[in-house]
Amino acid sequence: MNGFLLRCMVMGLAALTAAGAFAAQDPVAVPNAAKKFAMLPEGVRFPEGITANPATGDIYVATFDFGPNSNKLLRFARNGRLLAEKDFGGAPLLGLAFDPANGKVYIANFGASAIQRIDANFNAGTPAENVATVPGIGAPGDRAVPNPDGSEDIIQFGSNSFPAPNAMVFDSQGHLYVSDSFQGAVFRIDNAPTCATPCPVTTVAHDPLLATAGFPPFGANGLALNGDESMLFVANTGDDRVLKLELGTALVTVFAESINGADGLATDARGRLWVAANQADELVALNENGRVVARLGGFDGIRRDGSPDGLLFPASAVIVGDDMYVTNLALPLTDAAGDEPEEDVTRYTVSRLKVPNR
């Protein structure tokens, strides 16, 4: 074999090896991964919050609607059958969290600026209990944004003091963390299952990074704890970011950038942080360094029954075993008529996806 051919073979082998190594590092991508799990009752719109009872497989969904007498808390069986619905009237609901020790579903009642709870096996007549009222603390201070030339821009947030509880997560001690999308804050309710109501609310962080001047106009949103509960991950929807909040120091820093509409968060058994990218119609997984290692979902149009095919404005996710359940909020956000597929949705859904095992 002459030297030229030998060099070609070596170069070709090196190229194949490099390509294989590159491919091994590429994100796992599964298009068309979302399957319809459940259809909301006719006339019930905009599913947003979601949680689950791991013991029974029941899935709970809250709606974020602004019509009169329009918001519901829904309970679905593991096969997608509707088991119960509780009417919350005109108060829009956002995040949900499940307390397995006491069999309660916690509800971020956006309309009432309150955290509530209800029995996990609720029916239409089961009362919801007020746990705590989220305090009005106003907007955080200014945010300095550095420019490449060494100068900086200053973002000044308004005087908005409407408490906007959004997402929640329990730690192993029963403390409940709550994000506030308008006030740029994270709060904590200590011993939420047992504290005397109304429970006191502590401000954990009130930081400019938790607020937004972007779009959609929601700052601090989805929450998830790391394995040893020293760090709280916080999605900032309007800034397309996931932040990390060091609970020991209250230091807030950027963990991941450019996730289009970062919304709900969930962690899987492999330690990956899943982010609902509501403006990209997909779920994105981040590793411990904030790098994208998997993508699931995609939007494939509107079905004949008026429901989304795939994911459309995925807002929140919950993982049960190897399954991930995702609410398709499908909320139109712009004023121009006819420019968003969300406008064509007439039936609203929850999707189910398989969590990749690699």
Quick: pLDDT tens for 61-70. Answer: 999 999 877 8
pLDDT of the residue at 204: 98
DSSP one-letter code for 128:
P
Q: How far apart are CA 98 and CA 250, in angstroms?
A: 25
Using DSSP's 3-state secondary structure scheme, residue 288 falls into coil
Which of 7-11, 150-154, 249-253, 335-339 shows the lowest per-residue confidence on average (mean pLDDT)?
Answer: 7-11
Using DSSP's 3-state secondary structure scheme, residue 200 falls into coil
pLDDT of the residue at 17: 35
Q: How far apart are CA 313 and CA 105, in angstroms?
A: 24
pLDDT of the residue at 162: 92
Q: How far apart are CA 216 and CA 262, in angstroms?
A: 10
Q: How many CB atoms lie within 10 A of CB 111?
A: 16
**Average pLDDT estimate for 28-39:** 89
Task: Identify the architecture of domain 26-142+156-354 in CATH.
Answer: 6 Propeller (2.120)
Q: How many CB atoms lie within 10 A of CB 343?
A: 14
Report cis status (omega within 30 of 0) of the bond before 31: no
User: How far, in Å, are 146, 148, 182, 243 from residue 152 at the CA level?
Assistant: 4, 9, 24, 21
pLDDT of the residue at 339: 86
Tokens of 91: 């108060």
pLDDT of the residue at 45: 97
Find the DSSP H helices in the chain. Answer: 3-25
Quick: pLDDT tens for 276-310. Answer: 999 999 999 999 999 999 999 999 999 999 999 99
pLDDT of the residue at 304: 96
Quick: pLDDT tens for 42-54. Answer: 999 999 999 999 9
